[in-house]
Amino acid sequence: MWDPGKCIRVERERRGWSQTKLGKLCGYSQKTISKIERGAQRGATRIVEVARALGLNPHYVRTGKGPKVAGPQSPDLARLLGTIASLDPDKQRTIRAYLDVQVPGWDDDDDGPVSDTNIPGEDK
């Protein structure tokens, strides 16, 4: 059976990253990354955000199917995504809310619009 948490752990370790470093890249705490890797937290939004921080295809991380690596990114897009990932959760929430209004369906591979249950960095 496919294990998204194990996939995330293996890819993180392959890069030589700590759970803290990965957490900072996607706006989560080390504790949240640990829970995701152990399978104690399986929220699709969190797995998608962590997959993106690792440069992996979120569908592959969740299902083990499809291409492992996300499609190519321009340097500008990579820089933009890195900047957004480094913002505090309130600013990330503002960006997500803006995108929900301006670009409906932008996160269809996700859990839907911004809510208190899918904001990076907020451990519930």
- Is residue 117 over pLDDT 60? no
Do the beta carbons of residue 45 and residue 118 sit within 8 Å? yes
Residue 29 burial (CB < 10 Å; 0-12/13-18/19+)? middle
On whether the pTM is more than 0.95, the answer is no
Relative orientation angle of helices 75-86 and 19-26, to the nearest 10 degrees: 100
Query: CB count, 10 Å around CB of 65?
Result: 10
Tens digits of per-residue pLDDT, 60-115? 898 888 888 876 666 666 677 778 878 888 898 898 888 878 776 666 544 433 33
Rg of the chain over CA atoms, in angstroms? 14
Query: CB count, 10 Å around CB of 53?
Result: 25
Task: Tell me the domains of the chain and their CATH numbers.
Answer: 4-102 (1.10.260.40)
The H or E element containing residue 82 is helix 75-86
